[in-house]
Structure 1
């Protein structure tokens, strides 16, 4: 079982691509410097003014009890505020909570709803989680084609685990037309990122294709 506390941390920057620049998130530097009380104050002010990242960060402070008394109800309030403003990390976080029944009634259907929202906003982990919901028929009808679609979306963003998953689906024809060349391509991509098993699969399938060609 996954837990929110193990998967989430403060979002210090609004855009990963701008990591080299100071992120425009009030309170981020104070948090990094260990000035948690001041960081919380800035998060509260910004979140109250509609900053979705600050709302998420404030939710995490309440969830972990940093510079404030731990309060899951308050954490949920700010998490919903961030999710309603389409912050994908907040949407995915709510999906995890509903998946586990942590601070909310357990509902795999609601988990799928929030994973779907985050996946459509481009969050890789949510795309993988949504694909798994469809693959297993968990909180959604079992649908290998939709599972493959979301695994491939995550794979295209460079996630090695998703690359292995979509490679396997091409290898066996689950949700997609069986295509060993596509399987080799995705296994190889995962292998380049250090997945030894994926590299071995790519080699194995390449030998199969070469053997069939002889």
Structure 2
């Protein structure tokens, strides 16, 4: 059985005895068992049952239940959604040191959901989570440094945070870090590093990374020129709705670049790109978000 580095360190440094470690493991198992009915209800889409199962656990001080309840109340459809209550439960979990809750309450402050928009508070909570190694929070905080929101603008700090998050596997961080290497912002310009990080993010279905990787492979920047691979990445990004990738794919079908020439396919992709542009024009979104949340059903910390 593998023992985590943290537990090994605590044991060797004398900060935790084997009995204490065993007690913590038993406590974690109890929490997991107590949350199972709520998680099962969420999987079924039964928000009322999930909330009813979580509320007494959260009120009793179970930090993980507070976090999950906050997530449910924030993301559930009406009539179960309650942003102010979600903020309150996130806050209780965040004040207990729960990194994912700290990230999510930071996102609420950033977006002005469930609380007045406050970039300083958003950055503060992101920092607390980032300092615990929470990759999503590191990415969110990095973007705030890049924009100078809630913190002084600092491209070098942005790059350092993105590097940490990218090394932890966060695809958004990998894509943003690749852009920095491509442009030489906050890091020494290095096209091959850009390709490496775009490729890592693209493999995780980050459509922007797929598009930029395709462009670099098409032009032979940072990697040998590979038209077939470029077209394949354009296709993957286009399949996810990336408009510019659709247009590039249309050109590929027109010219027979990396695929057999197919005028009908070219017309189809141009029409799809036009439809995407028209749909985007009809929407009037609020400020674009740098904030990303953590959903307990998909990501465990």
Q: Same fold by TM-score, threshold 0.5 exceeded?
A: yes
The 2-side partners of 1:167 and 1:180 are apart by 8
SS in 2 for 1:149: helix
The 2-side partners of 1:62 and 1:144 are apart by 36
Answer yes or no: is 1:140 the counterpart of 2:219.
no
Identify which range, 23-32 or 85-94, moves more after superposition: 23-32
Q: Aligned in 2, Cα 1:164/1:74: closer, same or farther, shift over 3 Å?
A: closer
Maintained 8 Å contact 1:26/1:46: no
TM-score (norm 1): 0.74
Of residues 109, 129, 150, the one that matches 1:46 is 129
Of residues 106, 112, 122, the one that matches 1:27 is 106
TM-score (norm 2): 0.54
Maintained 8 Å contact 2:145/2:157: yes
Partner residue, 1:192: 275
RMSD: 2.4
The 2-side partners of 1:19 and 1:122 are apart by 25
Maintained 8 Å contact 1:169/1:175: yes
Q: Aligned in 2, Cα 1:185/1:68: closer, same or farther, shift over 3 Å?
A: closer
SS in 1 for 2:249: helix
Structure 1 portions without partners, runs of 5+: 1-13, 196-214
Of residues 75, 97, 109, the one that matches 2:158 is 75
Residue 181 of structure 1: how far off its partner (Å): 2.8
Q: Aligned in 2, Cα 1:160/1:60: closer, same or farther, shift over 3 Å?
A: closer
Aligned residues: 179
Of residues 179, 183, 197, the one that matches 1:96 is 179
Report which of the two structures shows the higher radius of gyration computed on alpha carbons. Answer: 2
Residue 94 of structure 1: how far off its partner (Å): 0.9
Residue 92 of structure 1: how far off its partner (Å): 0.9
Instruction: Provide, for residues 100-148 of structure 1, a one-character-per-residue CA deviation record: whole Å limited to 9, x for no partner.
Output: 1111111111111111111111111111100000111111111110110
Partner residue, 1:9: none
Q: Aligned in 2, Cα 1:48/1:26: closer, same or farther, shift over 3 Å?
A: farther
Of residues 58, 61, 85, the one that matches 2:141 is 58
Identify which range, 132-141 or 171-180, moves more after superposition: 171-180
